[in-house]
Structure 1
């Protein structure tokens, strides 16, 4: 591997970039860097020619959100108490899917319609749910006959904590019934929550806190999205 130098690697990656997306090229560069770092550390090469390679800068993706009409279609497509409770909880709290599946019954405070969730980096934050969610969540918990401590359980026996894959499947099942002509995933409910909050006048710093974003720049993406939505509506009606 000693015949490789930085220039040769750059030539190879430039050719690769002709048929790879920036994200795929970035993945390939990480693999190359990992290989040559290992080779150098193990003594197979005198130098690490990949040390100064840089990944391509990726443009920020605009989050895909659902309109309030689409949210209503999904709401109407929920059939069971569990589906209604889960859908309303995810939409009204804006929680990440991984945060939802970790929750237990005892985490819910119906007095204040709030819950403490464990977010990224094990950081805790308080989020809130609305009256509609509270009604369906209480009904769902009252109807359950199991003694599982988890907030959401699988709808098939044996009853156990709902996994991320279980939750994704349920949201997909609901969206198929709603016949919405777009691919819908649970994280879109979080995007929709943030976008609708901004559209209704909520301050960026409040939304940042509720979403558990470390950087305000992450939350400001939704503000840009909201601005585009207003522009589209203006163009449509004026």
Structure 2
């Protein structure tokens, strides 16, 4: 078995040398490799040992991302996608081929193009890091292009639909959630992380931590300030020392999770008769679309939403039917 492992190692080294150093004298290199390996006992890893390598490398990668300031939600999403891929290929990181990646991406016909693109993006980032850190020499995702995705319009609510959602709220916490979501245009994770003590009531603003652990200031309109104060007064009747703005209703009072916030929005939406699916992110789309229709500058909206890339913000201008209609009336006589 040892002799076979040594022979296999020599063959693999010869192949790598021929690839990386095409002008080298392969015969002489092979003789030198044999001289070196004669001083060692070569024992090839078992398949089981190679399989465990993937989890270790993923842990290294996620630790690096954590140091760079990525959120725990992003890290957990990356772990899920990478370990799902690991279970599918059942190989060590270094053994994965381009064909393995393509087979994985095509393995579930129910995946939308956006889902495939997200999983591919995760794998590309992982293998790019692995290559840069010199854990591997070849990136199996390098030749795979991101699939074309259908451009869908953000499902913004109309002013009437927003009023219906407001009317469907049954307590001060629900109404405050709706108003803060709409006024700030925050992502759900940003809203969950808001802290009461950081609110500047005079200026109607507070800081949030967005993607990439970046802090920005968001703003509260008159309705949001009114409903927030009403909600906080209701909380004062109980012993509540939780620092977060939105908390659970039962003792011990603690920060609401994104799952809990999403469930509340779903409950509010279920009380309204509308064919449109209302989610936390729809409030973000609605705020952006309303701002565009009212003439906000692109750069200002980009800062309010926390977009690092202006092209992400630009899609709101591209899809605003109301803006296009008004422009036609104004400029096409």
TM-score, length-normalised on structure 1?
0.79
How many correspondences in the alignment? 223
What's 1:162 paired with?
Answer: 256
Residues 1:110 and 2:201 aligned together: yes
Structure 2 matches for 1:155-194, cutoff 5 A? 155-194=249-288
1:119 pairs with one of 210, 220, 223: 210
Which region of structure 1 is more displaced relative to structure 2, 135-144 or 71-80? 135-144
The structure 1 residue matched to 2:186, chosen from 88, 95, 116, is 95
Q: Distance in 1 between matches of 2:213 and 2:140?
A: 37
Unpaired runs of at least 5, structure 2: 1-90
Alignment check: 8 A CA contact 2:302 2:313 kept: yes
* RMSD of aligned alpha carbons: 3.4
State the secondary structure of the residue aligned to 1:127.
Answer: strand
SS at match of 2:216: strand
> In structure 2, how many angstroms separate the alpha carbons of the residues matched to 1:206 and 1:83?
28
Assess if the C-alpha contact under 8 Å between 2:113 and 2:150 holds in 1: no
Cα 1:223–1:142 change in 2 (3 A) is: same
Q: How big is the shift at 1:201?
A: 1.2
Report if aligned partners of 2:185, 2:284 keep a CA contact under 8 Å in 1: yes
Deviation for aligned residue 1:212: 0.8
Length-normalised TM-score, structure 2: 0.58
Measured in 2, the distance between the counterparts of 1:209 and 1:47 equals 38
Residue among 288, 296, 307 paired with 1:202: 296
Cα deviation for residue 230 of structure 1 reads 4.3
Cα distance in structure 2, aligned partners of 1:218 and 1:5: 33
The secondary structure found in structure 2 opposite 1:156 is coil
Q: Which residue of 2 aligns with 1:213?
A: 307
SS at match of 1:95: coil
Q: Hey, what's the Cα distance between the residues in 2 that align with 1:5 and 1:160?
A: 46
Supply the distance in 2 between the matched residues of 1:198 and 1:133 (Cα, whole angstroms): 20
Say whether 1:75 aligns with 2:166. Answer: yes
Greater mean alpha carbon deviation, residues 139-148 or residues 166-175: 139-148
1:128 is aligned to: 219
Q: Could you tell me how far apart the structure 2 residues matched to 1:159 and 1:232 are?
A: 48
Relative distance call for 1:139 and 1:198 in structure 2 (3 A) is same
Q: In the TM superposition, what is the alpha-carbon distance from 1:31 to its structure 2 partner?
A: 9.2
**Structure 1: gaps spanning 5 or more residues:** none
